Structure 1
Amino acid sequence: MNLIEIYYDLRADLEIVEKRLLKEVQSNEKVLQKASAHLLKAGGKRIRPVFVLLAAKFGEYDLERLSRVAVALELIHMATLVHDDVIDDADKRRGSPTVKSAWGNRIAMYTGDFILARALQILADVPDLRSHQILADSIVQMCEGEIEQVRDFYRFDQHLRTYLRRIKRKTALLLSVSCTLGALAANCKETVVQALGKYAYNLGMAFQITDDILDMTATEKKLGKPVGSDLRQGNITLPVLYACRVPETANTLRRLIHRDMTDQEVASAISRIRSVGAIEQSQALADRYLARALKHLDALPNLEWKEKLRQIAIFISKREY
């Protein structure tokens, strides 16, 4: 089963969200509009809007209200991608040129700021103070996570806790917020709000670990960007940390991973990481987070949408792209 099949019952609502996304990146400044639309049209899994809509199925489902939340959260995610590509000096995302690559760093940074501002404009119409507080706190932590990532480039001796805190802030928080805000917008019971938030948090952790594994196991065609991008940027991910527990391998990786890595050095580093079982160890931790995510679904009412959440969890944790 693929995501299109899983999303099938939400297709009409997701089409409305997609149209609203295109509408919200309109601007009198044509460069901003073109750059924003360029990223939007490159596609994506739209997991955050889907989580908003699915969470709301456990309460009072009002698409007009929910589409505002769904669009705003996807725009926030898009803004982080634009900024990430500047920081990472990335030329491709989802197989297309990045905003940074097509328009340069300056336009890319302003585009990210513009998209974020649009998201906040949309959320201004949401009257729930708690939702605003949750989102504001999360954005602060997301920014802190990005700074931590830059600080820890090429830092091979970082603790596992440092990595887990970073991916929590980088990925898991916004997924958790998507379920939480969707549930709050639908006036769900507090037990449901909490269960959905914890489900998405743990799934977000599994999602990012899976991303870090795929950076070393997938093909460029499937990834839409070069294999080993994290290594080239000095981003020390979970497979590297596990591999560095073997002293001889740690020494080899310190020699191979540097700012001007050749394709051969990337291939050699990945081969060494895989040879010591670091991919399997990383997958085992991703599976533990997946199991926790699925466990939190037990607290939800037995509606058909609960099965959709289970299917999404299994898909995005076992995906190949």
Structure 2
Amino acid sequence: MDFHQVYDEYRTDLQEIDTLLKHSVVSENDLLASSSLQLLEAGGKRIRPLFALLCSELGDRVDRERVHTLAASVELVHMASLVHDDVIDDASVRRGHPTVRAQYGNRPAMYTGDFLFARAISLLSSLADTDLHVEMSNAIVRMTEGEIDQIRDFFDLDQSLKNYLRRIERKTALLISVSCSLGATVGGASTSVVSHVRRFGYFTGMAFQIIDDVLDFSGTESVVGKPVGNDLWQGNITYPVLYTAQRTDQGVALRSLISPTMTKEDVAAAVSLVRNSGGIDQAERLAERYLNKALTVLSELEPSDTREALEVVARFVNQRLY
């Protein structure tokens, strides 16, 4: 079994979720409807809905409509966070398409993000389970705290590894963890299984974001969907940069290049230094450690086709090129 086989098995479910997402972004305000639909139609891997679908299979009362609703709500939260993140980062391209802020401006983008958060909460409210709402709302609060942390840490080459890990936990790992735990909850899984997949999702999410940060240096614009070195240019200091700046001979040269006024030439030179410093290898090793933790937690569940599929998706996260 490989990732594409898993994806194909749930393709119909994911299409139903996409339909639900399209209905959720309908608005009488043409700008809100247009900007939200633009982001939705730009595509995406729909990893979070896929995790929710898979983890729901670990329960004994799977209701497809309820699972679809939960998965769409999680994806709307993710979409909202992307819109806000692009404003903070001054990003112009995502998934190979203009960002909402690039096409409509920062203020409409911020309100689009707010609109998507509201739609996510509205959709989730149709599921009468207080625990779902508590976990989701806590996640949104912590994600917001993570965005503030990111602003604080812009261009800071002396921040600690702990700072970086806490930031990516809130930026990415948390919502993947929630996708897994809430999916299992909606599917009627036991408390023990919900706890296991919550931890599995957390470790997988950490690996996911570290690899995402690696791709900013090792990927190509045509595949990743944004310019190489884009995160660095925006001031987002990730682990490959931290390692190079703090622990290699290239650190002094890298520090001389990175600043809020850096040029495209500076970015290109910085990317080259990071690529040649061992920073990418170190980040990949860190992602591998998180993946192994995820697989260890997963191995504690009863063997099943669903457990195997979750392992396949987790391995894809750590090996992907986009």
CA-to-aligned-CA distance 1:112-158 (integer Å, 9 cap, x gap): 11111000001112222122111111111111111001001111111
1:35: which partner in 2?
35
Question: 2: CA distance between counterparts of 1:73 and 1:316?
Answer: 18
- 2:25 — aligned with what? 25
Is the CA contact 1:210–1:283 (under 8 Å) kept in the aligned structure 2? yes
Gaps of 5+ in 1: none
Which whole-Å CA distance do the structure 2 matches of 1:33 and 1:2 have between them? Answer: 36
Q: Which letter maps to 2:20?
A: R
How far is 1:234 from its partner? 1.1
- Equivalent residue number for residue 75 of structure 1: 76
Residue 124 of structure 2 is matched in structure 1 by: 123
The 1:256–1:15 alpha-carbon spacing in structure 2 relative to 1, beyond 3 Å, is same
- Asked if the contact 2:54/2:306 (under 8 Å) is kept, the reply is yes
1:238 aligns with 2:239: yes
Distance in 2 of aligned mates of 1:105 and 1:124:
29
Q: Report the Cα distance in structure 1 between the residues aligned to 2:248 and 2:75, rounded to whole angstroms.
A: 42
Q: CA, structure 1 residues 320+247, in 2 after alignment: closer, same or farther (shift >3 Å)?
A: closer
For residue 56 of structure 1, what is the aligned residue in structure 2? 56
**Aligned twin of 1:277:** 278
Q: Percent identity?
A: 49
Task: Please name the residue that 2:254 is paired with.
Answer: 253
Distance across 2 between alignment mates of 1:178 and 1:295:
19
Alpha-carbon distance in 1 for matches of 2:280, 2:312: 24
Equivalent residue, structure 2, for 1:293? 294
The DSSP-based 3-state class of the residue aligned with 1:38 is helix
Q: Secondary structure at the match of 1:169?
A: helix
Distance in 2 (CA, whole Å) between partners of 1:41 and 1:112 is 16
Secondary structure in 1 aligned to 2:44?
Answer: coil
- Deviation at 1:247? 6.1
How far apart, in 2, do the equivalents of 1:3 and 1:29 lie? Answer: 39
Q: Give the letter aligned to residue 24 of structure 2.
A: E
1:49 counterpart letter in structure 2: P
List structure 1 runs of 4+ shifted beyond 4 angstroms.
Answer: none
Give the Cα separation in 1 of the matches to 2:100 and 2:249: 40
> Using the alignment, how far apart are the partners of 1:3 and 1:84 within structure 2?
28
Give the superposition deviation at 1:299.
Answer: 2.1
Is 1:148 the counterpart of 2:153? The answer is no
Change (3 A) 1:320 1:225: same
- Per the alignment, residue 163 of structure 1 pairs with 164
SS in 2 for 1:245: helix
Between the aligned partners of 1:312 and 1:49, the Cα distance in structure 2 is: 12
Q: How many residues align?
A: 321
Structure 2 counterparts to residues 172-321 of structure 1, below 5 A: 172-246=173-247, 248-321=249-322
- Matching residue of 1:11: 11
Is the 8 Å Cα contact of residues 245 and 255 (structure 2) preserved in structure 1? no
**Pairs within 5 Å for 1:105-120:** 105-120=106-121
Q: For 1:266, give the aligned amino acid.
A: V
Give the aligned residue type for 2:297.
H
| Cα distance in 2, alignment partners of residues 106 and 15 from structure 1 | 31
Task: Please state if 1:46 is matched with 2:46.
Answer: yes
Gaps of 5+ in 2: none
Amino acid at match of 1:178: S
- Aligned-partner Cα distance in 2 for 1:175–1:111: 22
Task: Give the TM-score, by structure 1 length.
Answer: 0.97
8 Å CA contact 1:180–1:194 kept in 2: the answer is yes
What RMSD in Å do the two structures reach over aligned CA positions?
Answer: 1.3
Alignment check: 8 A CA contact 1:58 1:301 kept: no
Q: CA deviation at 1:297?
A: 1.0
Query: What TM-score, normalized to structure 2?
Result: 0.97
Shift of the alpha carbon at 1:261? 2.3
Give the Cα–Cα distance (whole angstroms) in 2 for the partners of residues 10 and 139 of structure 1.
Answer: 27
* Of 238-247 and 82-91, the range deviating more from structure 2: 238-247
Q: CA deviation at 1:259?
A: 2.1
> Contact (CA 8 Å) 1:192, 1:299: kept in 2 or not?
no
Letter in 2 for 1:110: Y
Amino acid at match of 1:40: L
